[in-house]
Amino acid sequence: MTLPRRSWAEPFKIKAVEPLRITTREEREVCIREAGYNTFLLKSKDVYIDLLTDSGTSAMSARQWAALMMGDEAYAGSESFYEMADTIKEYYGYEHVIPTHQGRGAEHLLSQALIKKGDAVPGNMYFTTTRLHQEIAGGIFVDVIVDEAHDPENLFPFKGNIDLAKLEKVVKEYGAKKVAYVSFEGNVNMAGGQPASMQNFREVYEYCKERGIPVMLDATRLIENAYFIKIRERGYENKTIKEILKEICSYSDGCTMSSKKDHLVNIGGFLAVNDDELARKTRELVVVYEGLHTYGGMAGRDMLALAQGIREAVDFDHIRARIGQVEYLGEKLIEHGIPIVRPIGGHAIYLNARKFLPHLDQEELPAQALAAELYLESGVRAMERGIVSSGRAKDGSNYKPKLELVRLTIPRRVYTQAHMDVVWESIVSLWERRDTIKGLRFVYEPQNLRFFLARFEPVEAKVPAGRAV
Ligand code: F0G
């Protein structure tokens, strides 16, 4: 008998376990009310399966834990820094590494060093902290991602691509000298974990190079992007993830990195650049904001675990199982008719809250409401990625993103297939009673990155008929 398919399994066995607490619905009602209906404000002890983020939530390997014991904690010139910098150079190819405590530390340094007031910063969809640092530095973010990325049902395989015509328009409008750099994210988080193609990385770089515009990658999930290139783009089937990663980086001038994702560590990040002058400038800044240029906010042991994490992250069996687990969950949801962003992305499943809750107006915060309700249903914690995350423009109006999503983010090497079954079953039972889910409104709204600390309450009154959905 030939089997219709052969299963892959995780390329590891489990050595240490952390017990989980299962709460009752009554307990969760108290918890979510006390958290102001914001899943960021829940205590992790009250969460059963935590899909808030894949950031800093990975399980480290035995080798990474062993590396912790070997860290050189010298304030200056730590051996662990040199090992990390050499590893980054080997896998990503950049000349200079400026360590930071995490991704946004690197974004801060890069934005301060390259952006002048009034400069445009084109990017393939925004990321919350990235755009904020660009704006604080005086930049104007312009979205140049392909239109397909804004349509949750479009099956285009490279929804992370930059639209060269949109980029050209920005360059014409501002002039190449007023374009600080192109901010090019791999496996675009806010678009649903969607990759860019190698062809697009190459074309964007060639276009920018001719005009003297630097290309800076957000390499946070670039290894996941490399995996999609291997399986989706002609000519890359037989290349290793390591080779693909290095080729992508060769089409750029540097990158910011949150190592808390791809690199399988709980903290850490860096800025890596080729230009000597930019390296000098950002080293001067790192000592002010992060720490000395040979630790930048990380302990020596963190830097060693990070270096080991890079070596493990590019292993094909690892990345196939990691993305395979996300696909498993996504396919179960699709089978049951749940509206999710497609194609299934690299690090997360995104529920399409507009379709899930068509009776709610976007101003009634459907994705925030759905995330709160999922917690109530089963203790699964997810994250809003819609109008709340998008924040307000300088004139005070809400950015109104086309995508109104709830992100179920899968930590790397942490949960089993049985956990994924609990998750999709909970979502299916929510789907069956979706008409009962109410909207939310702000009762406290912070000025910046409001989604982290905002508080909400349920909207009891119905909105008037005739509203746009
Ligand atoms: N860039 C991307 C694409 C990210 O997803 C993140 C963080 C950052 C930059 C900032 O890095 O957190 O280390 O300062 N994303 C997390 C998330 C918070 O849940 O998606 P950081």
Tell me the per-residue pLDDT of 399-418, one tens digit each, with 9 for 90 and over: 898 989 999 999 999 999 99
Residues sharing a CB contact under 8 Å with residue 331, sequence separation 6 or more, in sequence order: 344
Q: How far apart are CA 97 and CA 88, in angstroms?
A: 8
For the chain, how many structural domains are there in total?
2
> What is the SS3 assignment for 253?
coil
Report whether the peptide linkage leading into residue 343 is cis, meaning its omega lies within 30 degrees of zero: yes
Ligand 1 mean position, distance from CA 260 (Å): 8
pLDDT band at 462 (very low <50, low <70, confident <90, very high): low
Q: What percent of the chain has pLDDT over 70?
A: 98
200 lies in some domain = yes
Instruction: Say yes or no: CB of residue 290 within 6 Å of ligand 1.
Output: no
H/E stretch holding 216 reads: strand 215-218
* Residues facing 170 on adjacent strands: none
12 lies in some domain = no
Nearest to 330 by CA among 51, 30, 37: 51
Averaged pLDDT, 446-461 = 91
Domain CATH for 129: 3.40.640.10
Does 320 share its domain with 243?
no
Q: How far apart are CA 70 and CA 291, in angstroms?
A: 21
Identify which of 107, 189, 326, 385 to mutate to test ligand 1's pocket (most ligand atoms within 8 A of the CB): 189
Backbone Cα Rg of the chain: 22
Does 307 share its domain with 321?
no
Does 118 share its domain with 100?
yes
Averaged pLDDT, 178-199 = 97
Sign of the Cα torsion 100, 101, 106, 111 reads negative
As a whole number, the mean pLDDT across the chain is 95
pLDDT value of position 1: 61
Q: How far apart are CA 144 and CA 333, in angstroms?
A: 30
Does 115 share its domain with 195?
yes
Please report the atom of ligand 1 found closest to the CA of residue 260.
Answer: 13
Terminal C-alpha separation, the chain: 51
pLDDT value of position 393: 84
Looking at ligand 1, which residue's alpha carbon is closest to its atom 10? Answer: 103
Which of 258, 282, 313 marks a domain boundary? Answer: 313
pLDDT value of position 61: 98
Averaged pLDDT, 226-253 = 98
CA 70 to each of CA 16, 56, 80, 313: distance values in angstroms, whole numbers, following the listed order:
20, 21, 8, 20
Ligand 1 mean position, distance from CA 192 (Å): 13
16 lies in some domain = no
Please report the atom of ligand 1 found closest to the CA of residue 269.
Answer: 13
In this predicted model, what pLDDT tens digit does every residue of 437-446 receive, in sequence order?
999 999 999 9
In this predicted model, what pLDDT tens digit does every residue of 322-375 receive, in sequence order?
999 999 999 999 999 999 999 999 999 999 999 999 999 999 999 999 999 999
Averaged pLDDT, 437-464 = 88
Does 296 share its domain with 330?
no
Identify which of 108, 132, 223, 261 to mutate to test ligand 1's pocket (most ligand atoms within 8 A of the CB): 261
Phi/psi-derived region of residue 212, left when phi > 0, alpha when psi is between -120 and 50, beta in every other case:
left
Does 115 share its domain with 261?
yes
Active-site residue list: 75, 127-128, 218, 261, 385, 451
Checking if the pLDDT of 465 tops 60, the result is no
Ligand 1 mean position, distance from CA 359 (Å): 31
pLDDT value of position 460: 82
Does 254 share its domain with 150?
yes
Does 32 share its domain with 86?
no
Instruction: Say yes or no: CB of residue 260 within 6 Å of ligand 1.
Output: yes
Please report the atom of ligand 1 found closest to the CA of residue 258.
Answer: 13
19 lies in some domain = no
Looking at ligand 1, which residue's alpha carbon is closest to its atom 21? Answer: 103
Does 73 share its domain with 35?
no
pLDDT band at 307 (very low <50, low <70, confident <90, very high): very high
Does 435 share its domain with 361?
yes
Which of 313, 348, 364 marks a domain boundary? Answer: 313
Instruction: Say yes or no: CB of residue 103 within 6 Å of ligand 1.
Output: yes
Domain range for 142 is 62-313
Instruction: Pinpoint the alpha helices (H) of 400-444.
Output: 417-432
pLDDT value of position 10: 92
463 lies in some domain = no
Checking if the pLDDT of 262 tops 60, the result is yes
Domain CATH for 397: 3.90.1150.10
pLDDT value of position 442: 95
Averaged pLDDT, 149-166 = 97
Which of 278, 313, 348 marks a domain boundary? Answer: 313
Ligand 1 mean position, distance from CA 183 (Å): 14
Residues sharing a CB contact under 8 Å with residue 11, sequence separation 6 or more, in sequence order: 315, 317, 318, 321
Lookup: tokens for 84 = 């990390």
